[in-house]
Structure 1
Amino acid sequence: MIAVFMCALSLCGLLESVHSQRGRCVGNQCFALVLDSNDFQVARESCQNANGYLPSSLTLENQRYITSGISGDFWVAPLNPPSCTAFSVRTGRSANFQIMPCDQKLSGYICQYYIKEPCSAVSTEKDAEVRYTAPMGIELNHTFPQGTIAVAGKTGAIHPDMKFLCFAQSWLQAPWKCEVLKGGCEHACDAISGCACPPGQHLHANRITCTESPQEGGNHTVTCQAGYEPARDGRGCVDVDECALQDQCTEEGEECVNTRGKFECVCKDGFVEEEGVCVDVRICEKCEHMLCDKYNGVYACGCHKGFRVSARDPTRCEMHCDHAECRAYCVTNPDVGKQDMHQCFCPEGYIQDLHNNTPYCTDINECEIESQCEHTCTNLFGAFECSCNEGYTLFDGYMCVHPDEDIDDGWEATEPHPTPAGSRPATVPSYIKTGSVLGISVFVLLCLVLLYFLVRNMSKRCGSLDLSSIKGSDMDIFYLQQVTTETYKRLSFDKESKSDSQRF
């Protein structure tokens, strides 16, 4: 029996010597993430001294359990000896294996253990709760390796009912031998009398914890630990929902989650925890080029080479050229197997051109176009900017206003000289405007020439017009004159007489 306890003592001491933040046991093996910054050789030896070894692979489920919410590089078994391999974890990115210099000190290592003679679950009363504490902080999943502590008791009660230690497929009930974890006692352990309490306190009925007042007849007032309150029937303790009482988590991106006896502040969906702070990563799901990284503590989208983040939409990318001439961005035409000019694009402020059958984007010099700026125009790559002479201030991006001038909208000139305007997009190339002016001028000239010949031809025709040609030989000319009634009768009579004579 002494040998059994000595083995348990050495086992627990070995497990306590390994500082692990998280882990997981499943089946007959456990995985532990050990936070111990060392090179590869030291990490491998430390894992072997704990009767484990560096794993060569990890399932996705194991990766999620032991690396969720953490960033760093951790040693694993070499994939291509003699080179050394690390499991790289970055928040917001997929974890992967990569080659690392063997003498580099990483964040820690991942150690894998085989479980020998594990224990099954502790059998307790229905109203009792069992809390398992595994070595190295490993998460337990129906598999309990040796060295696991099980504490059984009423939910929320200060004092447990029983405590157990897993060893050789069986649970040892406290108090056990004092040489192993103080026999499971809360304060001190005596090899003869078992658990002992400090002066003024008495040993509880569970024989492992101490209380200030002795229990009489088994009747006593229910006392609950922090985070619990007495049940209505007075027979136990119930959990207090701290999240329902008040806003416990007030930092940006946090939300409150109630747990047994306490609460936790966790990050909301779309946020990840980094250095104790919830950081918003929702924008990363919308990035056009699927690139996202943290800048000055805030996640932002990135773009591929030749592009930049759009000023109008931080999730979109736009073409960018920082030279006077850049290669055009072309979409390959699978039908012809080469680049088609109709499928090539240039940034704003550039015009497409061909150099040796290669599409290029050439910067447009907007300053060659008239009326861009009132005073001085400076060409930029893909844009231009205006500035003013001394004594004037730039207004509306291109106007230069003297401080003594009045502006209808109440603007006051306060900016010092010179004041460059922000980058303005290109309008039209200079050669386009020159061609338009030339075409209009030729058209007007042709119109004037046609008008001249038309007027000249009409003048000649009017000069040779002879009215006598339309005058007949027997054409009478009549004149209008005023007549009286007597005159009209006389003229009528004369006309009738003349007609009778002509008949004869």
Structure 2
Amino acid sequence: MKDATGLLVAVLAVVVGSLAEPNPDADPDGGHCIGSQCFAVFRHSADFASAQNHCKGRSGVLTTVRSYVAHDALATLLGNFSGRFWIGLHRLTDCPNATSRLRGYEWATKDAESDFDNWTPDFDGSCSSPRCVALSVEDELRWAQESCDARVAGFLCQYHLKYACPSMNQVLSPEEAVVYSTPLGFGGEDLRSLPPGSIATTTRSARKYVCFERWLPAPWSCEILEGGCEHKCAVDTDHDPSCSCPPGSSVNPVNQVTCEVTPGDPCASMGCEYACLEGDDGVHSCACDQGFKVGPDGRSCVDFNDCSDKRQCPGENFRCVNTVGGFKCECRLGFKMKAGLCVDHNECASAPCEHMCDNTPGSYKCSCYDGYRVDPDDPNKCELHCGKKECTAECDPNDKFQCYCPEGYIAEERDPHTACMDIDECAHSYCDHGCTNTYGSYVCSCQKGFTLVNEVFCEKNEDEEEEVEGSGGDVTTTPNGHTVSTTHGVAPTRQPSAVTAGGLVAIIVCCVLFVVLVVFLSQHILSRRGKVEGEVTFKAPERGERPGMHGMRSEA
């Protein structure tokens, strides 16, 4: 029962912990900007650390309230919200300091500068008092000490702006209302200051403006929110950006961004993705931009493989790379662009080889010093190689006793140098059947009717109907009937036995019977010998008695 209770507590702890972490993608529930400062309220239950991390993740900090202006901004922002909200005020020292304005607390910006304070009358100045601060509308936005682990109703984030755009209500006609949206995630109609990237849309004419040091009318740069266009933004190096609409509709002449259906247009019902064109026969059909072609449905546009045209990228050592809607020319591997040409890149300059490097057109080749050969597992590295029965070891010039031999050789100290001697692996019965020693390695082979497996073992072919008698010569047979030989770089870990399991059992049984028989015979012989000696002792004559007179009384 205790285990079940512990599991339930653990699950609840995980659930509570997840609830304490606000969704990082959640938009704020309101915002307000004054000058170069913006404030946002998040109604997400969280502890102080989670709230601080959330604000930081959105390029902000927990709110500072350094002046009456900031205090009034929070009053406007929290007017309709109840509950306590974290601000960026917390205490790092052990005890409060009643002599300072912030009472020993500091802002999330790691400073204690402030022209304003609004502590609750019941401020606790003891060392054990809570270390974080929250406020609420119910308490007239007074700063109340709160445990940092407590989950309050929400938190307030603050953002510093490099510049801001003023409200557009002052420059538009009174009957034209404006709706704002900001990159900080909040919007509305009553914003007085807007951060960069904010969009203003008039409710009557649907004109759009973007805040970029000043209000720019749409269509603006196509790289920013598609220029404000409802459909697509077109770029023309000779003209300003312009909006385009799907076939069957046209751009609104007033706002230049929205699309309106053209009455009686035959393309309106075709649903072309890019364009609708009228042919010579008067029939309309869909068309696509350069680099695309009409898809199987006759409406969508799919990428066209421009590299299918062999005339693309005709230069020497060039290659064509297809891109979405086009292609690009690149140099082949091993070449680099220089003055519009693809010239060979000297890979050896970066020293890719362990020993020697030879540059080749578009590539390179590694080679090794005498006594070495290219490592078969890595063509850029070299390994020791002898190739004969005996060779001189490779020794450390600073330590003559630290010597190395190629694989398959063993070091033998001599005067005045150390030699590497070839190891006869065949002497250790590494192979199931036949073995041929080579310099630095060995080759296994199998009798006829067997197949070499894992370069060491011999398995009988399944299609063999009769067992092959005699050795018949050692060959290495593969499943397809070909004869091969395999060179080994390392010795196998299993040594095949020359005695079968049945033969081994028979030998053991015979040995046991022989021992039992010997013991039985020994006991029998010793028993007989003891009995004979006993009889001889019983019949022996006493002193002075002649033989043959035993048991007879002598007469005087």
Report the TM-score, using the length of structure 2 for normalisation. 0.31
Query: Which of 1 and 2 has higher RCO (CA within 8 Å, sep 6+)?
Result: 1
Which protein has the bigger helix share? 1
